[in-house]
Amino acid sequence: MSDFISYCNNISPLSKDAADDLLSKLKSKTYKKGELINKKGQICGHLFFIEKGLIKHYYHHKNRLFILRFFSENNIFTILDSFLNQTPAEFMTIAMESTAVTYLDYQDIEKLCIKHHSFETFIRKYISVAAVNLFKRFKDSNEVDATELYQAFEIENKQLLQRISLGDIAGYLGISQVTLSRIRAKK
């Protein structure tokens, strides 16, 4: 759980009181490989920190798999729009491996933000970083060709390449597995 605090402090330093209050609110849970963490239509009421494991956000449309994002150890994740607006999620989150998380409930985050300016600043900065990453992903997926997308994915996710199936990588890149195989064969 102290890794969660370290992660927060790297984004925006927490006061000692805020860190202590945060620690008192954190909970832990494990998910088996293939277990859904959040279902489509379910409100995402948690901010998660991955202690161990790998997850993906995804949805299906017209018999195609679309993967929005992968998250691994020492990263925070949530379904941002569902979490922030407390509305039903449009996609799902699943454990790709046995995964251990530390998490914080939405209501506890609200209380911590009211009580501790340093925690509110952390949340604001986390949401800003997440929004910038979403815009970059959207821009890249519309402006960069599949070969360049794969090369960037390889560089940014080198430590995950052996843990993610080719089908999932293709779903993330928005291409078929056959196209991905052709791109990989050219290397």
pLDDT score recorded for residue 131: 87
Whole-number Å distance between alpha carbons of 84 and 46:
10
User: Residue 144's closest CA among 167, 168, 175?
Assistant: 175
Regarding whether 169 and 87 lie in a shared domain, the answer is no
Regarding whether 175 and 104 lie in a shared domain, the answer is no
At 90-127, the pLDDT tens digits run 999 999 999 999 999 999 999 999 999 999 999 999 99
What's 174's DSSP letter? T
Total domains in the chain come to: 2
Last residue of one domain, picked from the residues 139, 155, 179 = 139
**Cα distance between the two ends of the chain:** 41
More confident residue, 32 or 146: 32
Handedness of CA 146, 97, 45, 107 (dihedral sign): negative
- pLDDT, mean of residues 134-157: 85
User: Residue 21's closest CA among 37, 1, 36?
Assistant: 1
Regarding whether 133 and 100 lie in a shared domain, the answer is yes
Regarding whether 131 and 74 lie in a shared domain, the answer is yes
Question: How is residue 47 written in tokens?
Answer: 């901010």
Average pLDDT, the chain: 93
pLDDT score recorded for residue 63: 84
User: The CATH number of the domain where 126 resides is what?
Assistant: 2.60.120.10
Regarding whether 154 and 104 lie in a shared domain, the answer is no
Regarding whether 160 and 132 lie in a shared domain, the answer is no
Quote the pTM value.
Answer: 0.89
Structural domain containing residue 177: 144-187
Query: C-alpha dihedral over 74, 79, 80, 85, to 10 degrees?
Result: -140
Regarding whether 117 and 90 lie in a shared domain, the answer is yes
Query: In the chain, which residue ranges form alpha helices assigned H by DSSP?
Result: 2-11, 16-25, 80-85, 106-115, 117-143, 146-156, 166-173, 177-185
What's 88's DSSP letter? B
Regarding whether 155 and 133 lie in a shared domain, the answer is no
Question: How is residue 17 written in tokens?
Answer: 């009181």
What's 14's DSSP letter? P
Regarding whether 116 and 31 lie in a shared domain, the answer is yes
- CA distances from residue 152 to 94, 155, 158, 169 in whole angstroms, order as listed: 24, 5, 10, 12
Whole-number Å distance between alpha carbons of 119 and 122:
5
Tell me the DSSP string of 32-47: -TT-EEE-TTSB--EE
Name residue 154's amino acid. E
